[in-house]
Amino acid sequence: MSTQTLSRARWVRGCILRLLLCLSAALVCALLAGLTGYILLRGLPHVTWQLLFTQSSVLRGTRGILPNLLNTLYVVLAALALVLPLGVGAAIYLTEYAASPRLVRAVEFAAETLAGIPSIIYGLAGMLLFCQLLGLGTSLLAGSLTLAVMTLPIVIRTTQESLKSVPQSYREGALGLGSGKWHMIRTVVLPPAMDGIVTGCILSAGRVVGESAALLFTAGMGMSLNRFFASWENFAHSSGATLTVALYVYAKERADFDTAFAIAALLMLFTLALNFTAKWAGRRLRRRKGERNE
Amino acid sequence: MSEPALLSVRNLELWYAPAVQALRGVNIDLPERQVTALIGPSGCGKSTFLKTLDRMCDLVPGVRVSGSVRYRGKEIYDPCVDVTWLRKQIGMVFQKPTPFPMSIYDNVAYGPRTHGVRDRPRLDAVVERSLRGAAIWDEVKDRLKKSALALSGGQQQRLCIARALAVEPDVLLMDEATSALDPISTSKIEELIAALKQRYTIVIVTHNMQQATRISDKCAFFLAGELIEFGDTTQLFSLPRDKRTEDYITGRFG
């Protein structure tokens, strides 16, 4: 009798536990699907040609986010152009040249710490350093510089990891044939590490697209069209809001939730696309290596 | 020594760390166009010694070398020696086959390209000559553009020998080049070594004493970082002068 009640109590406990676990899983899925669905449903109907290809005009009473789209593009391109040579160079130095393991550990630790700092702190530091000390003012250039600093740890770490995964025998083989150090790195170390470098690069682009806090103080909230390719002046001296910052401006300051949701939907799609691209590029490069392995 | 010494080593000592001495006062003269085998139990310093001959030991962090290694009369530990030049003269084949993740052609052409050969017909000629020299041309001539990683272990090792030959070295160092291979590949590489000694000076490290007797002219026995005995292979294996050599070759330890 007692054993029967015990096993029954156990059975009930098991059922409750399973139910709770199911519930939490369902809750997570529902939250995710609900949030995504809500944003897409509210945002996508307002994504129109006019929104995408004009700038907002108070006189005509129209909404357009072309300036913000372009600003995002500029900031991504400029930040990547700055961070790639710096980050990949630093990673190459750390894995291939640095003689002191203590220095390497110190830099790795610093990079990991930097990656965990809230982005608004980068914004604050960027404002003080680039906008004020270097006199760039609130500008796209200052924003790009700040984001380059922010994504530097990501690029360094991913590049370092992929360089470390290159077999030591490649390096020895090349040096044994009388190749110089840089020639060895260029010919047998970087090509097999390329997939990791490209993935890190795309991931940091995703980080840049989604960043707002670090840009509020540095790139500012300018909503008019910047012609980056037409004029260096525009890029270096005028403020410009990226999509995420524009989202904040439309929702918080203009109470224009239709536009804000349209931007949110676009941002979500961009981030999704970037993540897929990173996966696809990584797989493709690995597969090319794999084919060579066959 | 009747033959002229190509590599002449005097009082060579090497430390991996201040308390870890791997070579103790090695003196040896390696003759030209002969096969010298280095034998001895694991950890006796024979591979380390091989690596001092083309300064590959420089790659180990914290390593310290003292003494003198002269290659054709030139001190290779002189700070003004160009290490890339030295390693072009003295090629190395490693224990495990280490082809680069490129095509067979690019693997062999890697060395010449490194040293500035860009001319396509010349590269083609070097690649064919090197692959023929390493007795692998017939097996790969139809798939030069295919990945080198698709070859079998024995083929990969002969490819690595071809890659080393392509820079036209003077000396070929082989660090247990057959220990990772099957018997058939091993015998192919042994035949190859016998053919290569017409043109190159070869120094091989081997764990396999039968291999040493089959292919080498000279043999050096190392123990605990010291060179115990060096002489003609036939003499060393039939009439060892040192008791420790005799114990080792008769299988009493190692």
Cα–Cα dist A246/A72, whole Å: 10
- Pull the structure tokens for residue A20: 């709770």
The pLDDT-based confidence of A293 (bands split at 50, 70, 90) is very low
Asked whether the predicted pLDDT for residue A230 surpasses 80, the reply is: no
Instruction: Give me the mean pLDDT over the A183-206 stretch.
Output: 89
| Cβ neighbours around B155 below 10 Å, total | 21
Q: What is the pLDDT of residue B69?
A: 92
Query: What residues have CB less than 8 Å from A8, skipping those under 6 apart?
Result: none
Taking contacts as CB-CB distances below 8 angstroms, the residues of chain B near A187 are 110, 114
Q: What is the pLDDT of residue A231?
A: 63
Architecture of domain B5-249: 3-Layer(aba) Sandwich (3.40)
Domain ranges of chain A: 1-31, 49-293
Q: What is the pLDDT of residue B1?
A: 44
The full length of chain A comes to 294
Asked whether the predicted pLDDT for residue A294 surpasses 70, the reply is: no
Strands (E), chain A: 55-57, 62-65
Chain B nearest-CA residue for A291 = B147
Please tell me the distance in Å from A271's CA to the nearest CA on chain B: 33
Chain centroid to CA B15 = 21
Hey, of B52, B110, B127, B163, which one would you mutate to test binding to chain A, going by the most A CBs within 10 A of its CB?
B110
Option in A177, A180, A293 nearest B167 (CB): A177
Cβ pair B98:A170 closer than 8 A: yes
Query: What residues have CB less than 8 Å from A184, skipping those under 6 apart?
Result: A171, A174, A175
| Contact (CB, 8 A) for A55 and A71 | no
Sheet holding B218-223, edge to edge: B90-93, B171-175, B201-205, B35-39, B218-223, B226-232
The residue that leads in pLDDT, A290 or A72, is A72
Taking contacts as CB-CB distances below 8 angstroms, the residues of chain B near A162 are none
Q: Tell me: the pLDDT tens digits for B170-183?
A: 999 999 888 878 88
**Which is the CATH superfamily of the domain at A49-293?**
MetI-like (1.10.3720.10)
Mean pLDDT score of chain A, rounded to an integer? Answer: 85
Backbone torsions φ then ψ of B139, nearest 5 degrees: -80, -25
| Amino acid, res. B90 | I
Q: What is the pLDDT of residue A287?
A: 66
Q: What is the pLDDT of residue B90?
A: 93
Report the range out of A95-104, A192-201, B211-220 with the highest average pLDDT: B211-220
Q: What is the pLDDT of residue A292?
A: 47
Q: What is the pLDDT of residue B100?
A: 92
Nearest 5 degrees, angle CA B151-CA B154-CA B159? 65
Instruction: Give me the mean pLDDT over the A40-53 stretch.
Output: 85
Residues of chain B with pLDDT under 50: 1-2
Q: Tell me: the pLDDT tens digits for A233-292?
A: 666 677 788 888 888 888 888 888 888 999 999 999 988 888 888 888 877 776 665 444
Cα–Cα dist B36/B229, whole Å: 13
Q: Tell me: the pLDDT tens digits for A75-89?
A: 898 899 999 999 999
- Pull the structure tokens for residue A165: 């995964």
SS (H, E, C) chain B: CCCCEEEEEEEEEEEEECCEEEEEEEEEEEECCCEEEEECCCCCCHHHHHHHHCCHHHHCCCCEEEEEEEECCEECCCCCCCHHHHHHHEEEECCCCCCCCCEHHHHHHHHHHHCCCCCHHHHHHHHHHHHHHCCCHHHHCCCCCCEHHHCCHHHHHHHHHHHHHCCCCCEEEEECCCCCCCHHHHHHHHHHHHHHCCCCEEEEECCCHHHHHHHCCEEEEEECCEEEEEEEHHHHHHCCCCHHHHHHHCCCCC
- Pull the structure tokens for residue B119: 């001319």
Cα–Cα dist A272/A202, whole Å: 12
Please tell me the distance in Å from A192's CA to the nearest CA on chain B: 8
Interface predicted TM-score (ipTM): 0.85
| Contact (CB, 8 A) for B76 and B55 | yes
The residue that leads in pLDDT, A71 or B173, is B173
Taking Cα atoms as reference points, which of A191, A167, A162, A196 lies closest to residue A94?
A162
| Cβ neighbours around A140 below 10 Å, total | 29
Cα–Cα dist B173/B232, whole Å: 19
Give the predicted TM-score (pTM) of the model.
0.80
Instruction: Read off the DSSP letter of residue A46.
Output: G
Taking contacts as CB-CB distances below 8 angstroms, the residues of chain B near A289 are 101
Instruction: Give me the mean pLDDT over the A115-130 stretch.
Output: 89
Chain A nearest-CA residue for B82 = A178
H-helix or E-strand spanning residue A193: helix A190-209
Option in A101, A169, A178 nearest B111 (CB): A178
The pLDDT-based confidence of A5 (bands split at 50, 70, 90) is low
Option in A172, A176, A289 nearest B91 (CB): A176
